[in-house]
């Protein structure tokens, strides 16, 4: 089987973890190059030890490499601002792009929720770590009950938040909130991220609250459980931390949440998640890294399968 050659721009935590996943688990994909801007970065050094070609001259350096002409997919694991510049160049060069920043230039890509219509897009946006963890849950609720409002809180260990994450806090909240609506199906979404400085570091935790227009708790719970299993198929450390919680709210409580003069009564659904990382590059507490790189790998494998349907039987 001819595997699609891929490159990663960004030799930080996310880019390095993704490189290791590609080396260990890539089926239809082969890592050809890791790109950075710091010649002393640990990611580039590790890539060289693993036999992966590298450059510390950014996208220009990648474009100058002989392997560039054969690369079919480029993962961008830099920052939202940098991706805006990279995307235009890569598109002009005919490269498919999977964006692991919150730039949101292309359609939102969540492997467990409606990815197939976007597999031919030139640029896929992986939303955010919090988005990958929580959007599937909102979508699961939306499938069985209209979601009037969805609010998520993503809590990650401070040690697992690199410079790119810290530089993109505003983009994180804005992109995740929009994706809760566009992909998750909520009428209105809100996202919050917490960098937890606790020592020892805590695993990624995500809290999801949905305000629905009624709905059957048993049907909502079953839909959520099916969705958790679907996400765990490509993020093994993804799980419910406790049972789904329900609370019936009167009209006044719903109006206060929605910030409206009046509202119909509703059902509040509380979902509490934990994401344990695979420990490929950072320790298990860095579930925020693992869910992003695992989702990006899953999306790229689906893109590769679409491009080479004869190889679809590869497990």
Enumerate domains of the chain plus CATH numbers: 4-127+292-311 (3.40.50.720), 129-285 (3.30.360.10)
| 146 close to 212: Cβ distance less than 8 angstroms | yes
Rounded CA separation 111/300 (Å): 10
Residue 1 pLDDT level (bands cut at 50, 70, 90): low
* pLDDT over threshold 90, residue 167: no
d(CA 67, CA 69): 6
pLDDT tens profile 173-215: 999 999 999 999 999 999 999 999 999 999 999 999 999 998 9
Marked catalytic residue, from 62, 112, 126, 129:
129
Query: Given a cut of 70, is residue 23 above it in pLDDT?
Result: yes
Verify whether residue 210 is a known catalytic residue: no
What is the arithmetic mean of pLDDT over 135-157?
98
Average pLDDT for the chain: 95
Angle (CA) 193 166 49, round 5°: 120
Residues 284-310 have a mean pLDDT of: 92
Q: Which residues pair with 207 in a beta bridge?
A: 153, 272
pTM: 0.95
How confident is the model over 129-151, as a mean pLDDT? 98
Predicted local distance difference test score (pLDDT) of residue 164? 76
How large a percentage of the chain has pLDDT more than 90? 92
User: What confidence score (pLDDT) does residue 315 get?
Assistant: 43
Q: Is the bond leading into 200 cis (omega within 30 degrees of zero)?
A: yes
Q: What is d(CA 277, CA 289) in angstroms, rounded to the nearest whole number?
A: 7
Which tokens is 153 given? 């809180």
Provide the CA 47 distance to its chain's centre, in angstroms: 23
Per-residue confidence (pLDDT) for residue 309, from 0 to 100: 64
Encode pLDDT of 258-270 as tens digits. Answer: 999 999 999 999 9
Contacts of range 223-230, beta carbons closer than 8 Å, 24 or more positions apart: 223/140, 223/141, 223/143, 223/144, 224/137, 224/140, 224/141, 224/271, 226/140, 227/112, 227/136, 227/137, 227/139, 227/140, 228/136, 228/137, 228/273, 230/112, 230/136
Q: Answer whether 77's CB lies under 8 Å from 101's CB.
A: yes
């Amino acid at each position: 089987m001819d595997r699609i050659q891929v490159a990663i721009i960004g030799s930080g935590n996310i880019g390095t973890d993704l490189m290791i996943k590609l080396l260990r688990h890539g089926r239809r994909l082969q890592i050809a190059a890791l790109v950075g801007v710091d010649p002393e970065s640990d990611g580039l050094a590790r890539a060289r030890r693993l036999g992966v070609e590298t450059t510390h001259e950014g996208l220009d350096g990648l474009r100058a490499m002989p392997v560039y002409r054969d690369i079919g997919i480029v993962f961008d694991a830099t920052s939202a601002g940098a991706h805006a510049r990279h995307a235009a160049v890569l598109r002009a060069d005919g490269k498919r792009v999977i964006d692991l920043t919150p730039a949101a230039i292309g359609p939102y890509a969540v492997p467990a929720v409606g990815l197939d219509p976007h597999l031919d897009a030139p640029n896929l946006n992986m939303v955010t770590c919090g988005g990958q963890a929580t959007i599937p849950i909102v979508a699961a609720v939306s499938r069985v009950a209209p979601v009037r409002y969805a609010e998520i809180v993503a809590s990650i260990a401070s040690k697992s938040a690199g410079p790119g994450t810290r530089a993109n806090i505003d983009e994180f909240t804005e992109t995740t909130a929009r994706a809760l609506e566009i992909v998750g199906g909520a009428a209105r979404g809100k996202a919050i991220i917490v960098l937890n400085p606790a020592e020892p570091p805590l695993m990624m935790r995500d809290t999801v609250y949905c305000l629905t227009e009624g709905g059957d708790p048993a049907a909502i719970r079953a839909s959520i459980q099916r969705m958790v299993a679907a996400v765990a198929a490509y993020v093994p450390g993804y799980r419910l931390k406790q049972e789904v919680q329900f609370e019936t709210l009167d009209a006044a409580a719903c109006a206060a949440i929605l910030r409206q003069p009046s509202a119909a009564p509703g059902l509040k659904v509380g979902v509490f998640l934990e994401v344990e990382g695979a420990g490929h590059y950072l320790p298990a507490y860095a579930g925020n890294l693992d869910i992003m790189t695992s989702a990006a790998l899953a999306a790229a494998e689906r893109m590769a399968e679409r491009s080479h349907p004869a190889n679809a039987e590869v497990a």
